[in-house]
């Protein structure tokens, strides 16, 4: 076997490993459903803070999930909701409901790169992606905050439109939970998402606090999760446009 | 050049006033040309700047005329892979209750994706806190304004701003103040951004958008993507670059542009006669000077060039002054012209700054120069032909030779024959306008002869009333027709222009008033907008249906007016219930069977077009009119043509059911209401208020209100005509002053002799006054006659190339009578200065003159 052929085979195995890590990670943290109340703290470049509360519910997972996100506070945004239908083979469908206007609007695919209502998340960041939507490469094993991690590079497949050219993911080796993401637009590192508080809830390792940093704008958004529950029974009907319009 | 300095400059210095009067015609002509065009250009620039600044990175815009389209079109466009970003837009003008006057242009967009196209630089530099994007979207009362507008009105973030909406006056909350940028300077800074879905409610759009703005994927050509989109969406949608909206506005306001051209060219044409007159007299006066130059060896060519150079310099100075004056005129009229064009065409723009186009200014300079050179051509040629020997003899130069007069009469006769032929065979535009110009030339060529005849005819009358002054004045005119013919021609042309414009205005008013009487006969109207041509606001069909059910309402008619492209030009479609209209309104039929056409149109089997549409678009009854609708091409036979002045560019009457079916638009611009007998407008106004409460924004117009509104716009439009008339009068006065000034200088010796032999100063004054009055009278009479012909051509031009309005010929006798004191008064006033000059000069110098 020539040196070059060996390298090619080794590279393929390496990539296979990275994909397997991601797949295993998704499998370990999979749940039939999920519900929590979240707090969003958005800090501007000058340190100013804006807070919003929301309620989140999901059924299904990774690529086939449906979720509803409904704002609870402040009063001016209460009732505004976002419905997301994720698909394994294409970008998600998203609709927004504004109760004051009494109408829904579709968030177009082209708009997914825009900021999610002034936070440092984009609409795309809220999507849950199926493992098959990206190609993976294991960059190595590194320590992050004293924890050994796999460092994996995920590149969206050509069929999958994304604002990011690549995302580098840190996955804790011990529990196979992603704890840090770095997103690149073209070659520039634009965002960093750090999972700051990780705990086990109902036997599932979960992130209870994460921080998204916009490195270009020098702003950050902290998302805290409360009242987290898994695998409760949620009616499928709750994740429809009709239910969204009814304010359920 | 040396001759110009040594000879011409000395002459100009000696006759400074006359030289200034000579170029005054050019100054005025160029000023009108530059002023009217610059004002028009400024309005157009303001519109295109607003379009450009609002467009941002938009490469293509999708519209379906003004009708808008349903929301689902957006998804179809967003799903086209070549489209990078496509966002819905509603654009409307609203009146804010703020301390600064002026409307606010509302650009309503979907903020979730719009920032890919437009840059909203917020005051604080960060959009995430100063204004919460989620609150902005969640609250339909959110609005974002420009820093300029905020400063002007003392508005801060989170302050309330009241706008008149479909739901009545509505308080909005300012949730964003944009920093100064290209976008914020659109519409003079009076720009506000709001959510497109909130705007649907505020402006009564239902679930429709006005247009889609889009950008294509990187590396693709917008034109090619545009073609693909047109194929996908169908021909009922227009996919164009933002700049093409400027072209549409240009096409709408082309009537004004043509009017501006006619006025300024006429002013220049009249100015040309003043220059001709001055140069002709200058050549006569400077015969001895020319003779000496020729005797010293100057060639004929050099003499001709000398006079042409003088004229060129004068022309350039006049054009330069005129251009400056024109820019000042434009500053004065740009704002009001913007409002007028906005009211007539319902197009939002805000013309506050005057933009002088260097090309226009250069064109004006060239125009002034050419006019001056053309005017001086014949006098310069005559100067070159001066015989040195004869030139040095005195007193032989005032005669208009019999041969010269015969040639002119012959040419005039030939032209008149050609004019007659052009009228018989003048279907084509070229032949028609050639006939028009030949008729002017024929008239001008006839001026010396006709003027002479009239002067001879007036002599006995003048002599009978004022034996000395009258006879002297008449003799002066009879003996030197060349001196006065230019002024008489200028005056006659001015009067003819006034008669033509006055006649056209009179006919237009008569026709419009008749149309108002026939077409606008409901007792009252409800409109969602205070300005009836503004189509920003619309009633939902439910509103109109509620009104129809009110007690005391005998009949309602729902009207939706919308501009849609026909033959590439925006044309006003008037959609209404033809069956109902047929029972109340019978527009005068121009072609087709009245009963049949209404019955067929009511059944949705065709359209009725206005006469001016038929003329402008060269369409006839019986032809098929293909209109591209969002549902595909719609072939509708033209059932007939009627007189309808709904729009200057013509209108198409289509049954409401057909319009609703093909454009999926059931909104209403105006509800026409006929009341039961005994029910008053005031009673119905109360009933509407009680029924609707504050649920809708509406304005009540009585029949009288609407008529006054339309007549007010008509008055504003014809206000431009009065500018033309003022210019015509001013130029003709200049002509008379010029002629008299020349005449006095020319006759200094003669007047000196008169004084020397005992003539009283009062008699000399009287002679000059009478001479001026006689010139005025001759010009007036010839102008009346020429005006009769000019009116015919003006009406034909209006029908063929301006508004397509076929107006009845009716000679404006009242205006002709009003002109008697105006022209004679002006003539008398213009003679006061020259008369004083004549009597106050030194007698010795006068006797030594020549």
Structure tokens at B521: 């006969």
For domain A3-246, the CATH superfamily is Lipoprotein localisation LolA/LolB/LppX (2.50.20.10)
Confidence of residue A4 (pLDDT cuts 50, 70, 90): very low
B201 and A115 within 8 Å at the Cβ level: the answer is no
Evaluate whether B648 touches B720 at the Cβ level (below 8 Å). no
Chain A CB within 8 Å of residue B76 CB: no
Q: Which residues pair with B555 in a beta bridge?
A: B674
Q: Based on the number of CB atoms within 10 Å of its own CB, is B832 exposed (0-12), middle (13-18) or buried (19 or more)?
A: middle
DSSP B321-340: HHHHHHHHHHHHHHHHHHHH
**Gap between the Cα atoms of B598 and B611, Å rounded:** 15
A98 and B78 within 8 Å at the Cβ level: the answer is no
Q: Is the dihedral of CA B366, B369, B372, B374 positive or negative?
A: negative
- Is the pLDDT higher at B297 or at A138? A138
Condensed to tens digits (0 to 9), the pLDDT of residues A42-100 reads 887 777 788 899 999 999 877 788 999 999 989 988 999 999 898 877 778 889 999 98
B203 in helix, strand or coil?
coil
Structure tokens at B85: 């970003």
Residues on chain A touching B126 (C-beta within 8 angstroms): 44-45, 217, 219
Chain B CB within 8 Å of residue A47 CB: no
CA nearest B76 in A: which residue? A108
Structure tokens at B333: 């009229």
- What is the nearest CA distance from B33 to chain A, expressed in angstroms? 50
Neighbouring C-beta atoms of residue B822, cutoff 10 Å? 18
> Which among B111, B135, B136 is the top mutation candidate for probing chain A, defined by the most A β-carbons within 10 Å of its own β-carbon?
B135
Residues on chain B touching A109 (C-beta within 8 angstroms): 78
Average pLDDT over residues A121-125: 83
B113 and A114 within 8 Å at the Cβ level: the answer is yes
- What is the nearest CA distance from A243 to chain B, expressed in angstroms? 18
If chain B, 850 residues long, is cut into consecutive pieces of 10 residues, what is the mean pLDDT of each piece? 66 72 78 82 74 76 86 90 89 77 80 67 47 82 88 87 74 84 71 89 85 88 91 86 71 68 73 76 76 82 86 88 87 73 59 75 88 86 79 52 70 89 79 86 87 88 85 81 76 86 86 86 86 74 89 93 85 91 86 90 93 88 90 91 85 94 89 92 89 79 85 76 72 72 68 77 85 88 92 85 78 91 86 77 59
A118 and B85 within 8 Å at the Cβ level: the answer is no
pLDDT on residue B127: 46
B115 and A106 within 8 Å at the Cβ level: the answer is no
**Gap between the Cα atoms of B822 and B405, Å rounded:** 31
> Which among A40, A70, A72, A110 is the top mutation candidate for probing chain B, defined by the most B β-carbons within 10 Å of its own β-carbon?
A110
Which residues in chain A (117-176) have CB-CB distances under 8 A to chain B? 117-119, 123
Q: Which residues pair with B673 in a beta bridge?
A: B524, B556
Residues on chain B touching A219 (C-beta within 8 angstroms): 126, 128
Q: Is the dihedral of CA A197, A201, A205, A211 positive or negative?
A: negative
A117 and B134 within 8 Å at the Cβ level: the answer is yes
A110 and B78 within 8 Å at the Cβ level: the answer is yes
- What is the nearest CA distance from A45 to chain B, expressed in angstroms? 8
CA nearest A101 in B: which residue? B140
A119 and B198 within 8 Å at the Cβ level: the answer is no
Residues on chain B touching A96 (C-beta within 8 angstroms): 112, 137
B673-708 in b/e burial notation, b at 16+ Cβ within 10 A?
bbbeeebebeebeebbeeebeeebbbebbbbeebbe
Name the residue among A80, A111, A219 with its Cβ closest to that of B138.
Answer: A80
Name the residue among A44, A101, A110 with its Cβ closest to that of B126.
Answer: A44
CA nearest A104 in B: which residue? B197
B110 and A42 within 8 Å at the Cβ level: the answer is no
Name the residue among A45, A76, A110 with its Cβ closest to that of B86.
Answer: A110
**Gap between the Cα atoms of A137 and A148, Å rounded:** 17
pLDDT on residue A1: 37
CA nearest B81 in A: which residue? A110
pLDDT on residue A66: 92
Name the residue among A77, A79, A108 with its Cβ closest to that of B113.
Answer: A108
Evaluate whether B804 touches B615 at the Cβ level (below 8 Å). yes
Residue at token pair 């999958």: A160
B126 and A114 within 8 Å at the Cβ level: the answer is no
Name the residue among A99, A103, A108 with its Cβ closest to that of B78.
Answer: A108
Evaluate whether B547 touches B662 at the Cβ level (below 8 Å). no
**Gap between the Cα atoms of B28 and B273, Å rounded:** 13
Instruction: Report the helix count and the strand count for chain B, using DSSP H and E.
Output: 30, 21
B86 and A107 within 8 Å at the Cβ level: the answer is no
Which residues in chain A (192-221) have CB-CB distances under 8 A to chain B? 217, 219
Nearest to A190 by CA among A164, A222, A227: A164
Chain B CB within 8 Å of residue A96 CB: yes
Condensed to tens digits (0 to 9), the pLDDT of residues A191-234 reads 999 999 999 999 889 999 999 999 988 889 999 999 999 999 99
> Which among B80, B138, B197 is the top mutation candidate for probing chain A, defined by the most A β-carbons within 10 Å of its own β-carbon?
B138
């Amino acid at each position: 076997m020539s040196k070059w052929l060996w390298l090619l085979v080794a590279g393929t195995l390496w990539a296979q490993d990275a994909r397997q890590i991601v797949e295993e990670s998704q499998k370990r943290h999979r749940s039939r459903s999920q519900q929590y109340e979240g707090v969003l703290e958005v800090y501007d470049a000058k340190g100013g803070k804006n807070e919003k509360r929301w309620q989140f519910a999901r059924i299904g997972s990774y690529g086939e999930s449906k979720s509803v996100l409904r704002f609870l506070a402040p009063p001016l945004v209460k009732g505004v909701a976002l419905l997301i239908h994720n698909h394994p083979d294409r970008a998600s469908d998203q609709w927004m409901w504004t109760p004051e206007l009494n109408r829904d609007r579709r968030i177009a695919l082209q708009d997914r790169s825009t900021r999610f209502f002034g936070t440092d998340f984009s609409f795309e960041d809220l999507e849950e992606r199926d493992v098959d939507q990206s190609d993976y490469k294991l960059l190595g094993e590194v320590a992050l905050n004293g924890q050994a991690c796999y460092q994996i590079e995920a590149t969206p497949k050509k069929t999958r439109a994304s604002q990011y050219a690549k995302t580098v993911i840190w996955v804790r080796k011990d529990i196979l939970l992603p704890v840090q993401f770095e997103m690149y637009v073209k070659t520039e590192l634009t965002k960093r998402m750090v999972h700051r508080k990780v705990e086990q809830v109902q036997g599932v390792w979960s992130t209870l606090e994460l921080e998204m940093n916009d490195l270009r704008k020098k702003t950050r958004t902290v998302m805290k999760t409360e009242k987290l529950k898994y695998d409760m029974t949620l009616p499928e009907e709750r994740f429809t446009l009709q239910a969204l319009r009814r304010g359920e | 050049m040396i001759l110009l300095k040594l000879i011409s400059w000395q002459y100009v210095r000696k006759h400074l006033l006359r030289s200034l009067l000579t170029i005054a015609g050019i100054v005025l002509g160029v000023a009108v040309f530059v002023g009217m065009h610059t004002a028009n250009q400024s309005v157009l620039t303001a519109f295109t700047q607003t379009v450009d600044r609002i467009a941002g990175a938009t490469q293509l815009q999708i519209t379906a005329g003004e009708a808008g389209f349903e929301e689902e079109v957006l998804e179809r466009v967003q799903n086209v892979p070549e489209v990078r970003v496509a966002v819905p837009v509603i654009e409307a003008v609203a009146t804010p209750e703020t301390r600064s006057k002026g409307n606010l242009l509302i650009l309503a967009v979907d903020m979730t994706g719009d920032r890919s196209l437009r840059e909203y630089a917020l005051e604080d530099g960060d959009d995430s806190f100063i204004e919460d994007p989620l609150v902005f979207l969640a609250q339909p009362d959110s609005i974002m304004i420009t820093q300029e507008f905020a400063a002007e009105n003392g508005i801060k973030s989170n302050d309330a701003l009241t706008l008149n909406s479909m739901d009545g006056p509505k308080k909005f909350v300012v949730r964003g103040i944009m920093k100064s940028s290209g976008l914020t300077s659109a519409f003079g800074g009076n720009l506000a951004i709001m959510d497109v879905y909130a705007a649907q409610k505020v402006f009564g759009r239902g679930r429709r958008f006005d247009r889609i703005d889009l950008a294509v994927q990187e590396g693709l050509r917008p034109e090619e993507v545009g073609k693909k989109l047109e194929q996908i969406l169908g021909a009922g949608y227009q996919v164009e670059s933002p700049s093409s909206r400027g072209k549409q506005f240009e096409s709408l306001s082309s009537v004004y542009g043509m009017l501006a051209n006619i006025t300024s060219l006429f002013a220049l044409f009249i100015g040309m006669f003043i220059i001709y007159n001055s140069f002709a007299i200058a050549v006569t006066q400077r015969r001895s000077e020319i003779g000496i130059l020729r005797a010293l060896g100057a060639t004929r060519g050099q003499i001709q060039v000398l006079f042409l150079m003088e004229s060129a310099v004068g022309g350039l100075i006049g054009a330069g002054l005129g251009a400056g004056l024109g820019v000042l005129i434009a500053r004065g009229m740009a704002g009001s012209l913007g409002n007028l064009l906005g009211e007539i065409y319902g197009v939002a723009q805000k013309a506050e700054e005057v933009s002088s186009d260097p090309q226009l200014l250069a064109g004006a300079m060239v125009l002034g120069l050419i006019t001056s050179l053309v005017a001086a051509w014949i006098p310069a040629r005559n100067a070159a032909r001066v015989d040195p020997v004869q030139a040095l003899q005195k007193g032989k130069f005032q005669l208009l030779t019999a041969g010269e007069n015969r040639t002119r009469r012959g040419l005039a006769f030939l032209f008149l024959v050609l004019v007659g032929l052009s009228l018989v065979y003048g279907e084509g535009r070229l032949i028609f306008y050639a006939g028009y110009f030949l008729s002017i030339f024929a008239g001008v060529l006839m001026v010396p002869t006709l003027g002479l005849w009239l002067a001879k005819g007036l002599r006995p009358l003048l002599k009978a009333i004022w034996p000395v002054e009258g006879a002297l004045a008449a003799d002066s005119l009879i003996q030197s027709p060349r001196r006065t013919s230019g002024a008489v021609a200028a005056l006659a042309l001015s009067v003819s222009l006034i008669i033509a414009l006055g006649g056209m205005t009179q006919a237009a008013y008569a026709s419009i008033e008749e149309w108002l009487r026939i077409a606008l006969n409901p007792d009252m109207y409800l409109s969602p907008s205070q300005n009836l041509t503004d189509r920003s606001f619309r009633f939902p069909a439910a509103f109109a249906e509620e009104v129809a059910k009110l007690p005391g309402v005998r009949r309602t008619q729902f009207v939706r007016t919308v501009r849609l492209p026909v033959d590439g030009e925006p044309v006003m479609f008037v959609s209404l219930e033809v069956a109902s209209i047929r029972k109340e309104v019978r527009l005068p039929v121009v072609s087709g069977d009245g009963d049949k056409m209404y019955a067929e149109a009511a059944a949705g089997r065709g359209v009725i077009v206005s006469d001016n549409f038929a003329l402008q678009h060269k369409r006839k009854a019986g032809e098929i009119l293909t209109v591209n609708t969002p549902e595909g091409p719609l072939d509708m036979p033209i059932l007939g043509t009627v007189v309808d002045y709904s729009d200057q560019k013509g209108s198409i009457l289509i049954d409401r059911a057909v319009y609703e079916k093909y454009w999926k638009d059931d909104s209403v611009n105006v509800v026409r209401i006929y009341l039961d007998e005994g029910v008053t407008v005031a009673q119905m106004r109360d009933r509407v208020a009680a029924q609707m409460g504050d649920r809708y924004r509406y304005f009540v117009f009585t029949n009288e209100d609407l008529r006054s509104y339309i007549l007010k716009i008509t008055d504003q439009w014809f206000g431009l005509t009065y500018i033309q008339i003022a210019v015509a009068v001013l130029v003709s006065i200049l002509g008379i002053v010029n002629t008299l000034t020349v005449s006095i200088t020319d006759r200094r010796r003669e007047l000196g002799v008169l004084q020397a032999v005992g003539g009283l100063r009062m008699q000399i004054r009287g002679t000059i006054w009478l001479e001026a009055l006689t010139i005025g009278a001759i010009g007036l009479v010839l102008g009346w006659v020429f005006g009769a012909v000019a009116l015919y051509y003006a009406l034909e031009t209006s029908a063929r190339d301006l508004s397509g309005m076929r107006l009845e010929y009716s000679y404006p006798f009242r205006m002709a009578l009003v002109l008697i004191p105006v022209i004679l008064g002006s003539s008398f006033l213009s003679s006061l200065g020259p008369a004083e000059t004549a009597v106050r000069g030194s007698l010795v110098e006068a006797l030594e003159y020549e």
